[in-house]
Amino acid sequence: MGIHNGKREKPIIAYASNLPQGMIKEIECCYDNGWYLAVTYEDGQEAKAYQPGHMVGVDLGEIHTMGAFCENGQALLITGRKVRSLHRLRNKKLAEIQRRPSKCQKGSRQWKKYERAKRYVLSKSERQLRDALHKTTKQFVDWCLAQSGSDVYIGKVEGVQRNTRKKKRANRKQAQKISNWSFGKVKQYLAYKLAQHGIRLKEVEETYTR
């Protein structure tokens, strides 16, 4: 489990008796008034075969979670308002909670109460963000199908973050925004949702998606 409050946490061992049928893609250990497992798995439906069509370029960002342009001239912008608002609310609540334990003795009943509250905020915001990103990626995949897209090109996350840090090294607010971007989850969801429809996802240097 890593390091928490200077101490190495013991690993959590979970026994799952009712795992879904099919190939499991991801298992996440989450907390919401108790631990539970969030399982992502293949539903058994065979992916469609690749059919050559139009190329689509995708740009990920914070103002707009996804911006896309198809070579047939059509474009799509998906606002990141919902995701930004969830991040802001989470950061605000965490800041309030983290200020309070400073007045409590570590390990006390009140301190443990604040720790539980912090885990609850993180778990709840994670579920909400996961739901928002699933809806965002589904909207893009549906649009991509309508444009007969067959090859989707998406910018590498590392390049976006590295270039932004160089330009705005002293801007802490921008750094916080960058850390909040859920690029990894977006790419993960896109990869398997597009593959189900026989659409290829390819990573390229960020400059080529603009």
Structure tokens at 166: 């160089």
Alpha helices in the chain (DSSP H): 81-99, 109-146, 157-167, 172-180, 183-195
Beta strands in 19-94 (DSSP E): 24-31, 35-41, 54-60, 64-70, 75-79
Going residue by residue through the chain, which has 210 residues, state the pLDDT in tens, using 9 for 90 and above. Answer: 555 555 666 777 777 777 777 777 777 776 655 677 777 777 667 788 899 999 999 988 777 888 999 999 999 999 888 887 887 888 888 787 777 666 677 767 777 777 777 777 777 777 888 888 899 999 999 999 999 999 999 987 665 555 444 544 444 554 444 444 577 888 889 998 999 999 999 988 765 445
CA–CA distance, 148 with 187 (Å, rounded to integer): 20
Supply the pTM of this predicted model. 0.66
CA–CA distance, 184 with 106 (Å, rounded to integer): 34
- For the domain made up of 46-209, the CATH class stated in words is alpha beta
Domain with CATH 3.30.420 in the chain: 46-209
CA–CA distance, 46 with 130 (Å, rounded to integer): 24
